[in-house]
Amino acid sequence: MTNLLRNVAALIAALTILQLAGGLLGVRIPLAFTSGEHSRTELGLIAACYSAGYMMGAMIATTLLSRVGHIRVYAACAAIFAAATLALYFSSDMWNWGVVRLVSGIVVALMFAAIESWMNSSIGSASRGEVMSVYMVMTKAALAVGPFLASNYAPSAPEPWMIAAGIAAVSMVPVCFTSTAEPTPPKAQPLALVEQFATAPAAVIAAFGAGLTNAGVLALAPLYAAEHYGANAAAEFYSAAFTGSLLLQWPAGRVSDRVDRRLVIAALAAIAAVSAFGLALYSGHLARWAAVGLFFIWGAGALSFYGIAVAHMADRATHGRLAQSAAGILFVWAAGSVAGPILQGPLVDLFGVAGMFWFAGAAAVLVVAGMFWRKTTREEAHTKEEFAPQIGTSVAAGEIAYGEDTNPSGGLASGAAPPKTAS
């Protein structure tokens, strides 16, 4: 295991560094954008642009990896991401920000696809779970730490943008200097979304619900924290959500190996709903520690059930279709991530920042209802894949967790599709 981790250590290090920038930008972007008198509806559109860009990057990932290789794709995209991050400081126009965030989504998707495809080719089936555990812990911890790297600067200060851009640039170093050989270029399978819904409707519902709920809340939560508890509280809120998910996702996954995964998804969504409604009802009246604690609980539920949905799809996917199924799930997740911020932004403008929690709670309740509806209409899978921690990054992450399939023509079924990680 030690030798195996040494082989992929540089790759994990690159994405861990990148996620430090993602965590920083996750807090900085909403605070800086709304400080320029932009509405929450406009912020929702900016967040949706990032998710839409991620989907676009996913669609071209395998083509670019085949043409120029993994190192060149990652290095070029990291440079573009750094430049795009700096560009946000020099304009306050919504349309300029939308284009920049669209480009950022494209290149971040390509970076995750390049590294995770590379990791997948470098590990064996016996160690996939351990590698994925290390990878998940490191990258989620980086998302939790990132907001504190520039938490004391004013929203209009240039330093946070410079720090985030510098971090993105530094993430190239482990990739460029690694001695691990680049893998064979991947080949993609079509998404076949209708087939994915027929295979595991509950997984599709949960994935869409995760995107719908989480993307908008993560984009708007820093505003809630800043409005009620001061700008410095924004970093605490953002970090608390990812810390909660980091602590609960693995235990919840192990429980789902023993009981119906749909019940586990329903339980996690219920936790998210109750905590979201609590934040909405008592908005501004909670002590700071209590509000951060509730947001920690929200993150533990809302940011954890996507991984269980991927495992549920893996249970039901036919042989040779895992990569196709993972691509479909991620595409559905990204579609929810586009819709969520667009819908939540106007609610916040109309009903205040707490409106996002009413929306998030209602969306989580619908996920709970969907899980119980599927449980009453379809039996549990007779055999299960052992749960492996899973985050929404690229389709290669699903292959790392559950193994790489071969498609009917014998080619590797590896591709890339959408997340909500490095912002």
Enumerate long-range contacts of 101-104, CB under 8 Å, 24 or more apart. 101/29, 101/46, 101/47, 101/49, 101/50, 101/53, 102/49, 102/50, 102/52, 102/53, 102/56, 103/53, 104/50, 104/53, 104/423
Q: Which CATH superfamily is domain 2-402 in?
A: MFS general substrate transporter like domains (1.20.1250.20)
* Residue range 45-58: mean pLDDT, rounded: 90
* Residue range 161-176: mean pLDDT, rounded: 95
Mutual angle of helices 305-316 and 201-229, in 10-degree steps? 170
Q: Output the pLDDT for position 421.
A: 47
Contact 131, 119 (CB under 8 A): yes
Q: Output the pLDDT for position 134.
A: 83
Question: Looking at per-residue confidence, does 330 or 27 come out higher?
Answer: 27
Q: Output the pLDDT for position 416.
A: 36
Least confident among 95-104, 207-216, 346-355: 346-355
* Residue range 213-236: mean pLDDT, rounded: 88
Q: Output the pLDDT for position 29.
A: 94
pLDDT at 365 over 90: yes
Q: Output the pLDDT for position 411.
A: 34
Q: What is the mean pLDDT of the chain?
A: 83
Q: Percentage of the chain with pLDDT > 90?
A: 41
Q: How confident is the model at residue 328 (pLDDT cuts 50, 70, 90)?
A: confident
Q: Residue 256's Cα: distance from chain center in Å?
A: 21
The rounded distance, in Å, linking the Cα atoms of 270 and 367 is: 9
pLDDT at 219 over 70: yes
* Residue range 251-279: mean pLDDT, rounded: 92
Q: Output the pLDDT for position 189.
A: 58
Q: What is the DSSP string of 267-303?
A: HHHHHHHHHHHHHHHTTTTS-HHHHHHHHHHHHHHHT
**Whole-structure pTM value:** 0.84
* Residue range 83-104: mean pLDDT, rounded: 93
pLDDT at 387 over 80: no
* Residue range 230-245: mean pLDDT, rounded: 90
Q: Where are the domains of the chain?
A: 2-402
Q: How confident is the model at residue 242 (pLDDT cuts 50, 70, 90)?
A: very high
Q: Output the pLDDT for position 419.
A: 40
